[in-house]
Structure 1
Amino acid sequence: MNDIDWDKGKWTTPPLHEAIKEDGLYVTARENSDAWRVTSYGFIHESEHALLAPFEQDSAVEVSFFLNFAAQFDQAGIFIRTDETTWIKAGIEWSDGQESLGAVVTRGVSDWSLCPTPGWNGRLVTVRASRSGDAVTIRAKVDEEPWRLVRVAPLDPDAVVSAGPFCCAPTRSGLTVHFTSWRTAPPDASLHPHS
């Protein structure tokens, strides 16, 4: 794996505050920050704080952060962007009183999937996006537990794509996320590593 320097990325929307320290990047989200397009809610939000660098074909990107959420829709993880209407965000979101692992895949309009992850709060979460062929495979884990498959989504193999850590605070002020690493690696060997 190769670490990506925090100062190599470019923000989609600058956060309220950012600080690079010896133990990682601290990002304070702006209140009402979010990424969503149309589905069910009817609105378009393009105010996420995503720190992006090129995401090449046949590679993987990993982001790790400490989970410390408490308000509705607090979220952090990895953001993958082709353009303003084609993007993916995946990671942990605090929804209806609990932390959940999920993804929003957006191709013109957004979809959303969530799975509760009780006991993950206060621990180190890693989200991995692996790009190969016509897809991106997203996995996540907490601490040193096994990887969980989150999503397989289509991704044009010829598209110019960027990816990196993101966070949002749709309902409150004061959310600060401590990201500990941002790395590139070879892509996953297969969709089903144990088969």
Structure 2
Amino acid sequence: MPVEVPWKSGVWTTLPVAAAERDGHLVVTAAEGSDAWRHTSYGFVHDNEHALLTDWDREQAVEVTFTVDYDGDFDQAGMLIRADEEHWIKTGVEFSDGALGVGAVVTDIKSDWSNAPVPEWAGTEVTIRVSRIADGVVIRAKSGDEPWRLVRLAPVNPELELQAGPYCAAPTRSGLTVDFASWRLTEPDAEIH
């Protein structure tokens, strides 16, 4: 049985420009220049994303639902999973190279990036779901009522204590506002396939 996580129970990694509850949703406005990335290819470190995090009990899955209503370069929203500034995963929907993509950035001192096009997700409600299985994190996503898609199976030290919750960032512009409809805990995936 899913359990809603109250918005007020999280702590921001970096305060957004604005965050307000409206009809049970959390509406967040990101600061221009906000992002999460470490070193790889670009050579910079950004650690100023807007993530609302709580401790993650490995016996539960975490789900975040938000509306994909943005089209600025590198606008992004979804979920952040974090151990510390050098060990984290961000996953969600990002607008890059002129199109929306679902993907993940897995960071173990340096970041990587996976991305698959989902232009049909524009204007829809997307849910990101993460579960811990052994030494990994299984990331799934879906738009509306469609079936879950496997986004990534990422390695994670099983001894790490992690936090998880909704996040957004706007690396190149001001004015990105994301409507998060829910943040909940539910039964984790029992297997990868």
| TM-score, reference length from structure 1 | 0.97
1:80 and 1:163 in contact (8 A); partners too? yes
Equivalent in the alignment of 1:170: 171
| 1:44-89 CA distance string (max 9 Å, x none) | 0001000000111222100000001111000000100011100000
Percent sequence identity over aligned pairs = 55
CA offset at residue 157 of structure 1? Answer: 1.9
Equivalent in the alignment of 2:49: 48
CA offset at residue 159 of structure 1? Answer: 1.2
Alignment of 1:111-126 (within 5 A): 111-126=112-127
| 1:117-142 CA distance string (max 9 Å, x none) | 02111000000001121111000000
Equivalent in the alignment of 1:149: 150
Structure 2 SS opposite 1:119? helix
Equivalent in the alignment of 2:65: 64
CA offset at residue 23 of structure 1? Answer: 3.7
Counterpart residue type for residue 27 of structure 2: Y
2:133 and 2:190 in contact (8 A); partners too? no
Give the whole-Å Cα distance in 2 for the aligned partners of 1:119 and 1:137: 23
Structure 2 SS opposite 1:174? coil
| 1:96-118 CA distance string (max 9 Å, x none) | 11100010000000000100002
Count, aligned residues: 192
1:127 and 1:138 in contact (8 A); partners too? yes
Give the whole-Å Cα distance in 2 for the aligned partners of 1:39 and 1:155: 19
Give the whole-Å Cα distance in 2 for the aligned partners of 1:75 and 1:108: 21
Give the whole-Å Cα distance in 1 for the aligned partners of 2:129 and 2:59: 13
Task: Show structure 2 runs of 5+ residues with no match.
Answer: none
Give the whole-Å Cα distance in 2 for the aligned partners of 1:5 and 1:154: 29
Alignment of 1:1-195 (within 5 A): 1-192=2-193
1:59 and 1:132 in contact (8 A); partners too? no
Structure 1 SS opposite 2:188? coil
Give the whole-Å Cα distance in 1 for the aligned partners of 2:75 and 2:58: 30
Counterpart residue type for residue 61 of structure 1: V
Counterpart residue type for residue 18 of structure 2: H
List 4+ stretches of structure 1 deviating above 2 A: none
Structure 2 SS opposite 1:7? helix
CA offset at residue 35 of structure 1? Answer: 0.2
Give the whole-Å Cα distance in 2 for the aligned partners of 1:11 and 1:130: 22
2:77 and 2:168 in contact (8 A); partners too? yes
Give the whole-Å Cα distance in 2 for the aligned partners of 1:38 and 1:183: 32
